[in-house]
Amino acid sequence: MSALKTSESGVSLPRSQPPAIPANFISRDHLFSLFETQVPGSTLVIAPAGYGKTSLVSAWAQASERPTIWYTVDVNDTFEDFKAHLVDSIQKFIPDVKQVQNSAENVGRANSINSIVKIVTQYPGDVNFVIDFGRGTDEGVLPFRQLLVDATPENVHIVIVRRTSTDASLARYASHASLSLITSEDLKFSESEVEIIAGINQVNLQENGNAREIKLCAGWPAAVQLMCRNIGKNNAHAKFADAISSHVNPIAVLALETYNAMTPENRSILLKLSIVEEFDNEVASIILGEEFSESYINRLVTDGLFITASSTKNRIYRFNPLVFEALTKIQKENKSGLQELHLKLVDLYVQRKDATKALEHAFLSGDSQTFYEVFRVSVREMAAIGRGDLLIKWSNYVGDASEEGQVRQKTIKIVGHLVNLDFGKAEAMAIELEHIADLQGGSEFLERLCAMIRTHIYFARGDFAQSSERFNISIQPTSIETSLQELDLIALMRLHASQAFLHDDFDELVRIYEKAKLLAQSSTPSIAHYHLLCMQAMVLYSYGQYFQAAEAASAAIEIAEQSGYKGITGPLDVMLVLARAQLEASDLEKAVESFSKIVYLAQSWEIWPWYFMAQGSITRIH
């Protein structure tokens, strides 16, 4: 099994664009007047599930003359994911794409969000910015939400879609009378809209007490649509009032009634598809096998009740969250055949190099061996692209409740904290693991692992003596097989080579580089060659071959940008090589620009030797 990559950008194109409007969507453009029009300004759309919040805002955005930045929040999103979606959306209407990418690359922490939002000020007109929490996602994904609201440029109208009120203060807009609130009362279907829905579903409101039954929905759009569907196609009457009185989700009751009235074949297709909330045609074909029919899925999209589709060229389908919730409950009661489907999806996502989804389906399959194998081959890629959050999340499942299992979990968590640049937690865990090793009478593996962690921590703090001491411990051979593999050792040697480069110890730099080359084998992952290229750039500079050094450094920087390498794996060393080579060529303007990027990233990542070296160079130039 080849090594996997997580989605380093985290971009799912449909989530950075307004969703497509279902073919049978009733135009509600009479509600557009409820949106605030001023800039800066804000509109809050707050209502429970099933009120058509996202569909309304999407229709409004697509009818607006302003370009729209759109971000649909997902529960697993990190700041990096938010940043990637924001940049992807901005690129559609700001022509200077490279500047957008470079600015986003220079943002490493939430407190740097100003560097992104200010890009929009370059646009010569007004802009809409929609953040859709309509799926009930925990707002914890945006802990910087207040800063985001406060930093929004003067030419932006921000729209927030939520199921509940937000705790972010919008006083900035309220004080200028440029704040509008759209609630469930505004979104309820009017009598005329109810009549239209009834007509579409061929429901005679004058028969069988249909009008009385539908009236119980109190204008709740999703309830009205599902009720009319049940009556019109299935001649059924779900007891909406009974569902409410029994403290269950009435929409889920209606969704289940609609589902149960379908043919067994169609129920089987929907239930199988619902093992994923979002899918494309390839995923659907793997899940359904011979039952797959693109035309049938498109009919479901046209129907609009069960599945929606993206407006992108390669369509992405997504279940209505209320329907998905109902189908998920059915799955939990009947898991027959699900393991096989999850394992097929594991193979697909392994092929796509999407470790996040591969791990999710490996876990859901219940096959611990498959999960461990997928995790084992992807752990270093997750570390390289700064996804320590994923390492910490999945570490809970790589070991059992035994003492040995608990230690295994801690060895993954400590790497996760290091990758997250949370050096304090990583150092605390290193102390804990070293204590465990002492209690066990010594553990070469734990000793080498903790030494590796401390090598990075001490280097980041500028404690070069301690870093060198731990480096020498970490690369010592062991009497047993250790998880410090060739890739780990090459990465450590690059770090030590960087230290030699900073001290102009070029003999040590060349010695380490030659030693690292001996470790590289034909089967070594591509990231190892990236580490070697970084060392090669430093060596070429030490030989006075500045042009060749700049070429190697530029190539390494490009690899890092394309692959998403950041933090302890980021290209700060070769960025310094490039800046120094530009300085040697007397290109002071480019050199200052390169040094400034180093200062920004090093400060964001809290890897201070690069910060002080670059800042000192800028001071000397000026």
Q: How far is the CA of 105 from the CAs of 113, 334, 560, 566, in angstroms? A: 11, 46, 11, 9
* Model pLDDT, residue 427: 94
Model pLDDT for residues 187-205, shown as the tens digit of each residue: 999 999 989 988 888 888 8
* Model pLDDT, residue 240: 57
**148 & 274 share domain:** no
- Supply the range of the domain harboring residue 534: 500-622
Rounded to two decimals, the pTM is 0.70
**38 & 90 share domain:** yes
Any domain includes 37: yes
**174 & 47 share domain:** yes
> What DSSP letter does each residue of 534-552 carry, written as one string?
HHHHHHHHHTT-HHHHHHH
Any domain includes 543: yes
Any domain includes 228: yes
**42 & 56 share domain:** yes
Any domain includes 374: no
Q: Which residues of the chain have a pLDDT value below 50?
A: 1-11, 97-98, 100, 103-104, 106-111, 140-141, 247
3-state secondary structure of 495: helix
**254 & 281 share domain:** no
Query: Can you give the CATH number for the domain in which 559 is found?
Result: 1.25.40.10
Closest CA relative to residue 254, chosen from 209, 207, 221 = 221
Any domain includes 246: yes
Any domain includes 65: yes
418 touches 568 (CB < 8 A): yes
Any domain includes 160: yes
Q: CA 440, 445, 447, 452 torsion: positive or negative?
A: negative
**611 & 517 share domain:** yes
Any domain includes 494: no
**213 & 156 share domain:** no
**254 & 274 share domain:** no
Domain count, the chain: 4
Query: Can you give the CATH number for the domain in which 291 is found?
Result: 1.10.10
3-state secondary structure of 461: helix
Domain end point (choices 166, 187, 208): 187
Domain end point (choices 154, 187, 220): 187
Please count the residues of the chain.
Answer: 622
Domain end point (choices 260, 287, 308): 260
**90 & 181 share domain:** yes
| DSSP E strands, 397-531 | none
Query: Can you give the CATH number for the domain in which 84 is found?
Result: 3.40.50.300
436 exposed, middle or buried (CB, 10 Å; 0-12, 13-18, 19+)?
middle
481 contact partners, CB below 8 Å, separation of at least 6: none
**183 & 204 share domain:** no
* Model pLDDT, residue 104: 47
**217 & 160 share domain:** no
**313 & 210 share domain:** no
